[in-house]
Amino acid sequence: MSYFTGFFSGLLGIMLSIIPVAILWQLLTGSLVFNMDVIGNFMGMINGIAGAGFVGLVTLVFIMYFLTCDRCGIPKDCKKK
């Protein structure tokens, strides 16, 4: 079980480190990264969450909790009780 947890946490860590680099690349060069519009997709996701009302707010809180606490394998300053 720890093998799968380690694999997926490492994969998520790589993905979360590629996203800022892809955004910077698209901002600086104006070209697409891996033939994807990273900024357009991100803005579409934010607009979709913002337009969903209460469900969007719950989704945003869940995403922020997932990314700020030690759920994705990247240690943060979350205090476990």
Map out the domains of the chain as residue ranges.
Answer: 2-68
Q: Phi first, then psi: what are they for 53, rounded to 5°?
A: 70, -130
Residues 6 or more apart in contact with residue 34 via CB below 8 angstroms: 22
The tens-digit pLDDT sequence of the chain (81 residues) is 677 778 887 887 888 788 888 888 888 988 888 888 888 888 888 888 888 888 888 888 877 776 676 555 555 555 554
Q: Which residues contact 39 (CB under 8 A, 6 or more apart)?
A: 23, 26, 27
What pLDDT shows up at residue 74? 52
Q: What is the pTM of this model?
A: 0.56
Those residues with Cβ within 8 angstroms of residue 25's Cβ, 6 or more apart along the chain or in another chain: 31, 33
State the DSSP H helix or E strand holding residue 36, giving kind and residue range, or none if neither: none
